[in-house]
Amino acid sequence: MESLFEQVENGRLWSLPGGIHPPSHKEHTSAQPISQLPIPSQLIVPLKQHIGVQGKLLVSEGDTVLKGQPLTSPVQGLSLPVHAPTSGKISKIESHPIAHPSALSEPCIFIEPDGEDSWVDREPLPHYKEETPEFLVEKIKMAGISGLGGAGFPAYVKSKSLRNVNYLIINATECEPYITADDTLIQRDAQAIIQGIDIVASIVNPNMIIIGIEDDKPAAIECLKLACDHRDDIHIRVFPSKYPSGGEKQLINILTGQQVPSGGIAIDIGILVHNIGTLHAIYKAVVCDEPLISRIVTVTGGAVKSPQNLEVLVGTPIIELLRYCDFNPGKKQRVIMGGPMMGFTLASTAIPVVKISNCILAPQINELPAPENEMECIRCSACADVCPVKLLPQQLFWYSRAKDHAEVEAYNLKDCIECGACAYVCPSEIPLVQYYRVAKAEIKAENLEKQLAEKAKERFEARTARLERDTQEREEKQRLASEKRKQALAKSGGKNTVADALARVKAKKAKQAAEAAGANADSNAGADGSSGSTEQKPLTGAAAAIFKAKERKRKQAEAAEQQDSAPEAKVEVKTEPEAQVEVEQAQNDTPDPDAQKAAAKKAAVAAVVAKARAKKLAKQRQSQDDAAPASNEDGQNR
């Protein structure tokens, strides 16, 4: 019995479950050569054109740039640079609507071309096989190459961590109606695409290389066979056209019979898948040193008089492509970016072309009718019959509309490739894919909120642990310091100067409080005539100070009253000459100079006090003499 690898090598193909056969409408553009769109008057280059994070801005308003010059540099994570599509001047850097179903605005660089289309210095690398895989991966990264099949996944990431893969699969299917960008690119540059395959193969060293292409592209198939002539390592597999056989997981199943695990990617089973356009961009980046600044875009639809494939600079407004192809809009005209199955209606034709823009579709109203009013599901199960992932679209629709995200995830919504086959066959005109996209966005927002909450919780727990650790460290330091003080005290014979000082301060405060309490008790006893046996609370602080001041004033008043009430008291009043004699005598009687000074100072003080008392006594006598006649007269009158 043949092994799986032998079956693949012998050309066996597996059938795709589900799928549909919509009208292709490819004949309008597949047989025409690719035209070069002239440089527009303005280019609008979004800073982010891939799955991942935006790069770091390298230019400013007013700068002059050359064709191929980096405008951003990659940062950590899934990041790619963007480059100037032509030479010119940066007029402004501001937000502008981008190619997204919601018409969100993101930062964009506006470039006014100078018409010279001058390149930066380049270093072509024709002998790429002599370089290391790491060098080639870095070259692909710095060229800003993302997957051109529509997903926009950075191409370098797929090859960075892979070595000795089982299968390198080249996706040349292009199964969606109207789109022929890859078909015409193969017809024009098949040899360059084969070199791109060789570059990737030199990096990942695959066991087998397979090109998968549908049978509705006969011209492209012949060009590939000619380019692979005498090549035994590249296998071209042609299979019947069926939508969506161009999906990565679906193509792997058709060519190898293997199933990518639910929630997984192709790399998980050792398979690497690249789009035809991506390989052509890799060839130009490595061999010609040209970054990804242009791509092939199919412009078609009933409202376009000259449908064709154009090579367009990234950043060109959509209106420029439509004008070049003789756009004749009708009433309620829609312009769709992408195909009729997975594309979305543009909010404005001023939105620029980006790296993943493969088609601009302008259908007439009878060619692609607008969706009618949504009706109730009739449970016909047609959606489940055509699902290529074997999901249950009906249940996914119910739970998505009810916003029951737990059940939606239980039914593997993450595996939905949003191909639109279910909505295509739905007789109730239910936009199933739109419900799935909204549910995915809501689940993503919830998961992001949970992640932020978890990070906040981790930060809080880390802060709490840090504070506890700091507290423990402080307590440990205090304990060690206490032990050192005890050891020092033991060495010094038990003398603890700090403790002794604290004890003296406490004793002094206690004594002051006791004195204040005693004085308060005496005051209360004197005021009410009691014996002072009533218990009084000691005064402390400001109250004690105020009490002392009042007591001092009271004692001074009592002394003054005693002096006033004793007019007959004998007060020895000395004249100034007598006081001076006492001072001199005190100086002469004291042999010690210091003692003489002290005695002289004491005598001088006594003289001043005597003088003051004499003056006060004279005033009292004068007032008594003045009051005596008045009293006599008063007695006579009475």
Residue 14 in tokens: 């597996």
Whole-angstrom distance, CA of residue 16 vs CA of residue 255:
10
Q: Which residues pair with 44 in a beta bridge?
A: 110
- pLDDT tens-digit series, residues 21-79: 999 999 999 988 999 999 999 999 999 988 888 889 999 999 999 999 999 999 887 88
* Architecture of the domain spanning 1-30+123-289: 3-Layer(aba) Sandwich (3.40)
pLDDT at 570: 43
Position 111 pLDDT exceeds 70 = yes
CA dist 340 to 117, 301, 422, 438, Å? 35, 10, 13, 19
> Picking from 62-76, 420-434, 469-483, 560-574, which range would have the lowest pLDDT averaged per residue?
560-574
In the three-class reduction of DSSP (H, G, I as helix; E, B as strand; rest coil), residue 92 is classed as strand
pLDDT at 280 over 70: yes
Average pLDDT, the chain: 85
pLDDT tens per residue, range 539-554: 555 666 777 777 777 7
Residues 189, 197: Cα–Cα separation, whole Å: 13
The predicted pLDDT at position 636 comes to 44
* Percentage above 90 pLDDT, the chain: 59
Of the candidate ranges 28-32, 99-103, 313-317, 437-441, the one whose mean pLDDT is the lowest: 99-103
CA pair distance 70, 65, nearest whole angstrom: 9
Burial label for 106, CB within 10 Å (0-12, 13-18, 19+), is: middle
Q: Quick count: other Cβ atoms within 10 Å of Cβ 31? A: 12
CA pair distance 109, 54, nearest whole angstrom: 13
Strand partners, 111: 43, 90
Q: Name which of 347, 318, 322 is nearest 100 in CA terms.
A: 347
Q: Above 50 in pLDDT, residue 498?
A: yes
pLDDT tens digits along 8-18: 888 899 998 99
Look at residue 543 in the predicted model and tell me its pLDDT: 67
- Token pair 């009042």 is found at 550
Six-digit token string for 111:
């470039």
Residue 575: phi, psi to the nearest 5? -75, 170
**Closest to 69 (Cα-Cα) out of 288, 286, 291:** 291
Which position has the higher pLDDT, 585 or 256? 256
d(CA 261, CA 254): 15
Position 497 scores a pLDDT of 65
Whether the per-residue pLDDT at 578 is higher than 60: the answer is no
Q: 406: Cβ–Cβ under 8 A, 6 or more apart, which residues?
A: none
pLDDT of residue 243: 95
Per-residue pLDDT, averaged over 87-100, amounts to: 93
pLDDT at 200 over 60: yes
In what helix (H) or strand (E) does residue 560 lie, and over which residues does it extend?
helix 541-564
Q: Assign 596 a pLDDT band (cuts: 50, 70, 90).
A: low
CA distances to 5, 41, 167, 174 from 258, rounded to whole Å, are: 11, 49, 11, 21
Residue 129 has pLDDT above 90, yes or no: no
Is 234 or 589 the better-scoring residue by pLDDT? 234
Q: Is the pLDDT reported for residue 580 higher than 90?
A: no
Mean pLDDT of 458-485: 92
Averaged pLDDT, 301-326: 95
Q: How far is CA 92 from CA 40, 89, 300, 375, in A?
A: 16, 9, 32, 47
Instruction: Decide if pLDDT at 567 tops 50.
Output: no
> pLDDT grade, residue 534 (50/70/90)?
very low
Give the residue, 106 or 637, on which the prediction is more confident.
106
Residue 312 pLDDT level (bands cut at 50, 70, 90): very high
According to the model, what pLDDT value does residue 565 have? 53
Other CB atoms within 10 A of residue 594 CB: 8
Q: Is 506 exposed, middle or buried (0-12, 13-18, 19+ CB in 10 A)?
A: exposed
Confidence of residue 532 (pLDDT cuts 50, 70, 90): very low
pTM: 0.72
Pair 170, 280: CB distance under 8 Å: no
pLDDT at 100: 83
The mean per-residue pLDDT over the stretch 613-634 comes to 61
Of 259, 314, 251, nearest in space to 281 by CA: 314
The share of the chain scoring above pLDDT 70, in percent, equals 85
What pLDDT is attached to residue 624? 61
More confident residue, 554 or 143: 143
Taking only the tens place, the pLDDT of each residue in 352-387 is 999 999 999 999 988 888 777 899 999 999 999 999
Q: Per-residue pLDDT tens for 413-455?
A: 999 999 999 999 999 999 999 999 999 999 999 999 999 999 9
| Cα(86)–Cα(113) distance, integer angstroms | 6
